[in-house]
Amino acid sequence: MTIKETQDIIIEEFSMFPDWMEKYEYLIELGKGLEPIEERGKQEKNLIKGCQSRVWLDAKYEDGKLVFKADSDAIITKGIVSLLVRVFSGRMPREILEADLTFLDTIGLKEHLSPTRANGLLAMIEQIRMYAVAAAAAK
Amino acid sequence: MNEPDIRAVFPALEQKVYGKPLVYLDNAATAQKPEKVIALLDEMNSGVNGNIHRAVHFLSVQCTERYEQARRVIKKYINAAHEHEIIFTSGTTASVNLLAYSFGQRYIRKGDRIVVTTQEHHSNIVPWQLLCERTGAVLEVWDIDDSGVLDPKKLEVILDKSGPAPKLLAMAHISNVLGLVNPVRDIIRIAHHYKVPVMIDGAQGIVHRRVDVQDLDADFYVFSGHKLYGPTGTGVLYGKEKYLEEMGPWQGGGDMIASVSLTNGTKYAPLPMKFEAGTANFIGAAALGAAVEFMDSMDELWLKEHEETLVSETVKKLSEIEGLTLYGTAGTYYGLSWEKIPLFSFSVEGAHPNDMALLLDKMGIAVRSGQLCAEPLVERLGQTALLRISFGVYNTLEELDYFAACLRKAVAMLR
């Protein structure tokens, strides 16, 4: 499945929740369901500090693919983190670098990526791209 | 003016967000404006507009008069000794920066000490850090205790250290996180005993307490217009004449000069214009005057009772929520009384402040979450983020009830 296809599936899932509360309930559910990051991954170097919430991002490069694990101290942020992991984890660096990230906009969560929101999500996406650039260069 | 009438003069309160009636509980960040302030802004923006102080034409004279009238209103409201002790700025942040620059240039040298407290908003920390970087001065911290209050004895230890006394104490009247009224009158007396001047950050203080700068004996008192039901981009630096006279200007430009020469040097204008370089936000300042008049017109007794009721009812409602910790409780500490304003920061076990704020927003409630522009304080309280609700003159007990019900719902969803 391509990044675009994964995004389309997420968009379809969210189309079932026209109401804001339901949308957030679903994000909370996703956040609670996200595979917990091991303590090793929660070290300082993986911490993305925001004014609002904090995000941890751990990356491994295996068999030409980047595998991401992530976490957040805020559950709604964590729900969005889980979506980003679903979209980006297990991809080749080139796929990540060429991806057009549109699904958050489509499902009405674009404001969560505002730089002034300072919830760590924008920095997380930048960090994912940095890992992809580094992995692509390492080849 | 009292409660039944007051909401009607704030048009912003009528709006709906996400189809729900707005419940605005972020007044410590910025307050909504009454009709009179909006009307004055509209009137001046759409016609009564001519640059102040210099020109002789009709509009210029009108605007100059309104600008200077606002200065008179504010002078009277805070009981300054002189009109020229009221300097218009763009807000608290600009006032502190002006002071850090001009006071710093005049009085601060390498090795000098400047004292702030752990309670401070970033805008009363960073300008002093910049001054320390420029001059080699040292920032010293008067730390809070675990209840968030300040022990005056600890201040005396700082003031009484061997060597020269600190050059300035800069501290909040009311912390924007704790909502506790620091007994600044007593604190200023202690500082003055050691001949240390005091700057009070009144961004929250001026909104919730009647300020008399002469009674406090504050050397400087700074505040913003937009938290006081006035326009954004306005603020005041009050300073004692003695200091303002001795301090040099901060910014150079028009309006702040007496004469300019390319060869014989430039002479500065007298106070207050020495500190008001360039075209001032004269429309904003005039509207700030209207906001202060609005505050002055309020029934003081009603307002006091209203705030006290909001405080006791909110404390009660919050205490009913399991796992909630409130930061900043009124009481007698160190023999001094610390009153609470209707501003509450708290954490709830199992629910992140950012998540609660997002859910409350969708229920129509505006609150603030995060580090509240006071990272050292939030960290000192052992937290990475807090949720804050802050009430204005127009908030009601019905809104409090709705908020409490919504908070319960949000917490239940998150746990």
Is A73 part of the contact surface with chain B (CB cutoff 8 Å)? Answer: yes
- Are B103 and B242 in contact by the 8 Å Cβ rule? The answer is no
CA distance A63 to chain B (A): 37
Q: Which domains does chain B show, CATH number per domain?
A: 3-32+299-414 (3.90.1150.10), 42-295 (3.40.640.10)
Four-CA torsion B36, B38, B39, B40, nearest 10 degrees: 90
- In a mutagenesis test of the B interface, which of A52, A54, A81, A116 is the best target, namely the one with the most B β-carbons within 10 Å? A52
> Which of helix, strand or coil describes residue B247?
coil
Contact between B355 and A73 using a beta-carbon 8 Å cutoff? no
- Non-local (6+) Cβ contacts of B12 within 8 A are B22, B24, B32, B33
Read off the amino acid at residue B339.
E
B85-111 per-position pLDDT tens digit: 999 999 999 999 999 999 999 999 999
How crowded is residue B320: how many other Cβ atoms within 10 Å of its Cβ?
9
Contact between B384 and A75 using a beta-carbon 8 Å cutoff? no
- In a mutagenesis test of the A interface, which of B17, B354, B362, B414 is the best target, namely the one with the most A β-carbons within 10 Å? B354
Residue A10 is predicted with a pLDDT of 96
Read off the amino acid at residue B406.
C
CATH topology of domain A3-138: Sufe protein. Chain: A (3.90.1010)
How crowded is residue A108: how many other Cβ atoms within 10 Å of its Cβ?
13
Contact between B413 and A20 using a beta-carbon 8 Å cutoff? no
- Non-local (6+) Cβ contacts of A124 within 8 A are A48, A55, A57, A70, A81, A84
Average pLDDT value for residue range B297-305: 94
Instruction: For chain A, list the strands marked E by DSSP.
Output: 47-49, 54-62, 65-72
- Are A129 and A97 in contact by the 8 Å Cβ rule? The answer is yes
Four-CA torsion B32, B34, B36, B42, nearest 10 degrees: 40
Contact between B352 and A74 using a beta-carbon 8 Å cutoff? yes
Q: Residue holding tokens 């009607």?
A: B8
Task: Say if residue A49's pLDDT is above 80.
Answer: no
Residue B284 is predicted with a pLDDT of 98
> Which of helix, strand or coil describes residue A47?
strand
CA distance A78 to chain B (A): 10
Phi and psi at residue B403, in whole multiples of 5°? -60, -45
Contact between B371 and A24 using a beta-carbon 8 Å cutoff? no
| CA separation for the pair A115, B373 (Å, rounded) | 16
Residue B195 is predicted with a pLDDT of 97
Active-site residue flag, A77:
no
Q: Residue holding tokens 């001054």?
A: B131
Residue B2 is predicted with a pLDDT of 56
Four-CA torsion B108, B114, B119, B121, nearest 10 degrees: 20
Could you tell me the CA-to-CA distances from B115 to A62, B138, B157, B202 in Å, in that order?
53, 9, 12, 17
B332-368 per-position pLDDT tens digit: 999 999 999 999 999 999 999 999 999 999 999 999 9
Instruction: For B112-212, list the strands marked E by DSSP.
Output: 113-117, 138-142, 168-172, 180-181, 198-201
Is A77 part of the contact surface with chain B (CB cutoff 8 Å)? Answer: yes
CA distance A95 to chain B (A): 32
A59-105 per-position pLDDT tens digit: 999 999 999 999 999 999 999 999 999 999 999 999 999 999 999 88
Residue A138 is predicted with a pLDDT of 82
CA distance B295 to chain A (A): 32
Tokens found for residue A58: 């751990």
Residue percentage of chain A with pLDDT more than 90:
60
On the question of a cis peptide bond just before residue B272, with omega within 30 degrees of 0, the verdict is: yes
Contact between A24 and B18 using a beta-carbon 8 Å cutoff? no
- Is residue A42 very low, low, confident or very high in pLDDT (cuts 50, 70, 90)? confident
Is A113 part of the contact surface with chain B (CB cutoff 8 Å)? Answer: no
Cβ neighbours of B359 in A, within 8 Å = 21, 24, 76
| CA separation for the pair B253, B277 (Å, rounded) | 5
Residue B79 is predicted with a pLDDT of 98
Tokens found for residue B254: 């028009």
Residue B350 is predicted with a pLDDT of 95
The complex's ipTM works out to 0.87
- Is residue B28 very low, low, confident or very high in pLDDT (cuts 50, 70, 90)? very high
Cβ neighbours of B362 in A, within 8 Å = 20-21, 24
Residue B70 is predicted with a pLDDT of 98
Residues of B assigned a catalytic role: 373
Residue percentage of chain B with pLDDT more than 90:
95
Catalytic residue among A25, A33, A35, A51: A51
Helix and strand tally (H, E) in chain A?
A: 6, 3
Tokens found for residue B359: 């859910």
Between helix A3-14 and helix A20-33 the angle, nearest 10°, is 130
Mean model confidence pLDDT for chain B:
96
Average pLDDT value for residue range B268-272: 94
B131-152 per-position pLDDT tens digit: 999 999 999 999 999 999 999 9
Contact between B359 and A53 using a beta-carbon 8 Å cutoff? no
Is the torsion defined by CA of B332, B334, B337, B341 positive or negative?
Answer: negative
- Are B347 and B3 in contact by the 8 Å Cβ rule? The answer is no
User: From the centroid of its chain, how far is CA B314?
Assistant: 22
pTM (predicted TM-score): 0.94
- Are B33 and B375 in contact by the 8 Å Cβ rule? The answer is no
